[in-house]
Structure 1
């Protein structure tokens, strides 16, 4: 009996039109409420087709996320304008090119695009280039302000002979600010897309656990994840998979994914699919032979506690720095209990030394949406405080945001070993105890969390309990 590669038990993807018009209105309100123009035009260009050098095929296409947010359109070579006063959106798509049809088939027609997208009018871009459709739009403006994103649109058309009489004022500030602020708070349709990406990604993670004992190289497990995502309707990956075995897991954004698994303790896999331009971002760590070593088990339990303690604090209005520091407090206490950190130190002295930044160097999490590291977090990578330098969310988090909760503990040999040799951590780190943990590499556990008033919902469905992980690897 043949078994299907795709899982028929997974729920179907969300149906209905992406709420692009509501996003246009939301951005326009934000601009007006924050001191920007209350009328005018938001003008965006989607990503264009780029050909591969010395090849007759296009490079991989990825739609501009700001463009998608206001259109729901993932086609290349498209243009868009939203007339704020008229509350009218217009999408220009490529016209039918007979030569293109010969090689690639019929493109989407304007009538089909009207059915597919939440747009008021769909035209072909030869009508945009002629200037006629923009003349109709600009002629009705009391004050002609065109809001665009610098270096992401060719504004020459607004200075053409056909349009120069309207003398449009080009603004490169408000469109980006408005879209990025609005993208932080997701509507129900966006949540449904992130939820579906999580369901498919979570299933693919379970397939990794089931396959690990028959794999001999990192690349095989990477392939298993991608195959199951693609087979279940998620053709795109949200980011390049991190499939790191043994000490490779101490590299936060490990990219090689091609090392033999022989003689290694654990595997850390950070991988997530993308569905309709929305991302999942999930990390699991597990023993390659199905049984935790004493040291690996201790570190896994500590990371799980770090995540659990921060999970209790998640709700609308929380200050993200508070959660991040709570993770460091749990890390400090746990590493001290294991004897890695000196038991003669108080918690305050440990945190003052910033030694936990050697074991937990990255931020607790980030916003998630159309980008894996989504916009709106206001990160400050120049912050002199080492605890917050790589924190991708700063300040309070609103209801409707989606964040990742992803603490980790890592045993990075460089530059840590050199610092130990130089005596930087004398009296803070017990090097004899630490030596037993180098081969653990790193442990990270990451879930995608929908922030709500008074609490949260975990959109990630693959489990992470220590015992369940072992059972999943050992299941026949």
Structure 2
């Protein structure tokens, strides 16, 4: 891993909080992700399952964490299984976690090699009544691949059919949505790396540059600052490409007079940042472009101030829609008749702003969070309104990541990243 070691007290605390929410005489199991093949002997870069990382800090394939707070054998209340390493593996693949290193990383005192998993689980299962299985129940999840976790769950329930089953996900949804200060610091670091990449672009972009060249500048800056790279597939959309919400081809030339919508951000230590900025290829906005830009920015500022403890996500989006409707009226994109005759299930403003304004962010870019419950302090949300006008050849979206505070407006983790139109122009023309 490129990132600095994370204090194991974060993972000790996370496990303590998770186990406090478990039923009596129950055990929970968490698996690493698979290493996915590409073809021949090639594999995709490994990405750790966020749940086992959240609870252990282990960032290595073929690892298993078992939590059993009521186990009569105190040494088996927290158990971590890792692949046995040796000199041969160290030469060909690099060093893997030793037992001592696994304890230092996670704070888990009982470490076994993975080859002992079935034997140790058999002993632990004899004391337990319930298994917590780990399923992905994120509201945007659409997973078609059978994961290592899925295969393990099938095996576990087939071998131990008399045990009852509970779900880890509702506990994790609640815990992961509220960030520890260590997590907030890691996310701030990811945002700081993103800032460096964005400022680099303000010196680089000019008419004739290609979208993929911009992507190359960003990945250079991110990796040189100890990030693995992009937190998500980058969107570098010039001109009308910005009106395709998930445009990822990044293969067009940026033309004079156009805008570039940049939805690009770095990860750090598996924590995401999520930035969107829209900048003029030529370094100056047209009068119309600036009017739309400033309207989006005003919506963003008002929406940000609404993210306070007690806010309900669904109700918040309704209020943001009202603010956007007012701005679209001012821009002449909507008239009063369109609003009076709108479909309540698809308000008139949705013609120009068709996506949501905010989502949880953390270990996942679209992170866990129980959206039907009131917002709490130390939750982190994006704020990302946009206006998309295919008929005028441009779309504008602006996005920052903000931490809900106990009192007052949220803290903007991206507060140092330029966003005002005049500042963008000044930096591009210095």
Q: Same fold (TM over 0.5)?
A: yes
**CA distance 1:79–1:350, change in 2 (3 Å):** same
The Cα of 1:236 is off from its aligned counterpart by 3.2
Match of 1:125 in 2: 114
Q: State yes or no: 1:250 paired with 2:243.
A: yes
- Cα distance in 1 between the residues matched to 2:209 and 2:67: 53
Q: 1:319·1:394 contact (CA, 8 Å) conserved in 2?
A: yes
Question: Which of 13, 17, 39 is the matching residue for 2:8?
Answer: 17
Q: Secondary structure at the match of 1:330?
A: helix
Q: Secondary structure at the match of 2:43?
A: coil
Match of 1:145 in 2: 130
**CA distance 1:156–1:285, change in 2 (3 Å):** closer
The Cα RMSD (Å) is 2.5
- For residues 295-314 of structure 1, the C-alpha deviation after alignment (integer angstroms, 9 at most, x for no partner) is 11010010001011112222
Match of 1:332 in 2: 325
**CA distance 1:213–1:13, change in 2 (3 Å):** farther
- Cα distance in 1 between the residues matched to 2:122 and 2:343: 62
- For residues 129-184 of structure 1, the C-alpha deviation after alignment (integer angstroms, 9 at most, x for no partner) is 4x0x2344345x3x432211255351476579xx86xx76151x421221122111
Equivalent residue runs for 1:259-274 within 5 Å: 259-274=252-267
- For residues 220-254 of structure 1, the C-alpha deviation after alignment (integer angstroms, 9 at most, x for no partner) is 11111111111011113210010000111111111
Equivalent residue runs for 1:308-347 within 5 Å: 308-342=301-335, 344-345=336-337
Match of 1:472 in 2: 427
Q: 2:193·2:266 contact (CA, 8 Å) conserved in 1?
A: yes
Match of 1:154 in 2: 152
**CA distance 1:78–1:267, change in 2 (3 Å):** same
Match of 2:97 in 1: 108
Q: 1:268·1:442 contact (CA, 8 Å) conserved in 2?
A: yes
Equivalent residue runs for 1:86-235 within 5 Å: 86=71, 88-97=77-86, 99-129=88-118, 131=119, 133-139=120-126, 141=127, 143-149=128-134, 152-155=150-153, 158=156, 169-171=163-165, 173-213=166-206, 216-235=209-228
Task: Give aligned pairs, total.
Answer: 408
- Cα distance in 1 between the residues matched to 2:157 and 2:312: 46
The Cα of 1:60 is off from its aligned counterpart by 1.6
Q: State yes or no: 1:44 paired with 2:30.
A: yes
Equivalent residue runs for 1:15-94 within 5 Å: 15-17=6-8, 19-31=10-22, 37-55=23-41, 57-86=42-71, 88-94=77-83
**CA distance 1:156–1:362, change in 2 (3 Å):** closer
The Cα of 1:210 is off from its aligned counterpart by 1.6
In our comparison, the structure showing a higher alpha carbon Rg is 1
Q: State yes or no: 1:408 paired with 2:386.
A: yes
Q: 1:332·1:350 contact (CA, 8 Å) conserved in 2?
A: no
Q: Secondary structure at the match of 2:112?
A: strand
- Cα distance in 2 between the residues matched to 1:205 and 1:466: 15
- Cα distance in 2 between the residues matched to 1:158 and 1:394: 32
Q: 1:14·1:193 contact (CA, 8 Å) conserved in 2?
A: no
Q: Secondary structure at the match of 2:15?
A: helix
Q: Which runs of 5+ in 2 are unaligned?
A: 136-148
- Cα distance in 2 between the residues matched to 1:250 and 1:158: 47
- Cα distance in 1 between the residues matched to 2:5 and 2:295: 37
- Cα distance in 2 between the residues matched to 1:312 and 1:14: 34
Q: 1:48·1:78 contact (CA, 8 Å) conserved in 2?
A: no
- Cα distance in 2 between the residues matched to 1:247 and 1:318: 35
- Cα distance in 1 between the residues matched to 2:175 and 2:208: 44
**CA distance 1:336–1:114, change in 2 (3 Å):** same
Match of 1:34 in 2: none
Match of 1:370 in 2: 363
- Cα distance in 2 between the residues matched to 1:22 and 1:361: 39
Match of 2:290 in 1: 297
- Cα distance in 2 between the residues matched to 1:334 and 1:468: 22
Q: 2:338·2:348 contact (CA, 8 Å) conserved in 1?
A: no
Q: State yes or no: 1:286 paired with 2:240.
A: no
